[in-house]
Amino acid sequence: MKPVAFAHAAPREVPAALQLLSEVDAVALAGGQSLVPQLNLRKVRPRAVVDLNRLTELDHLDIGDSAVRIGAMTRMRALERDPGLRRALPVL
């Protein structure tokens, strides 16, 4: 089965994404591993899909003396390859 028709938006700033998500019957798309199968099976029927992948301000890794901050859109692969993170949090 294929998903029902929907609008697609790919904002580049968080406020724009939040505005889109609040205005219409929309769902957020980050990785798609959960959402895409639900769309295909028509378990989810949004009017719009807001693609979060261009939100570069949420893609960051900050390693400080006492804390590590990982942005919501930071890819697992980036974390796996970061030597600074490996030193700061070897258990991760």
- At 26-39, the pLDDT tens digits run 999 998 889 999 99
Confirm if 27 and 66 have CB atoms less than 8 A apart. Answer: no
pLDDT digits (tens, 9 = 90+) for 48-58: 999 999 999 99
Average pLDDT of span 63-78:
94
CB count within 10 Å of CB 52 equals 19
Confirm if 70 and 78 have CB atoms less than 8 A apart. Answer: no
User: Is the pLDDT confidence value at 1 over 80?
Assistant: no
DSSP 34: T
> Residue 92's pLDDT is what?
79
The whole-angstrom separation of Cα 92 and Cα 46 is 35
Average pLDDT of span 2-7:
90
The CB-based long-range contact list for 88-91 (8 Å cut-off, 24+ gap) reads 88/63
The whole-angstrom separation of Cα 55 and Cα 32 is 15
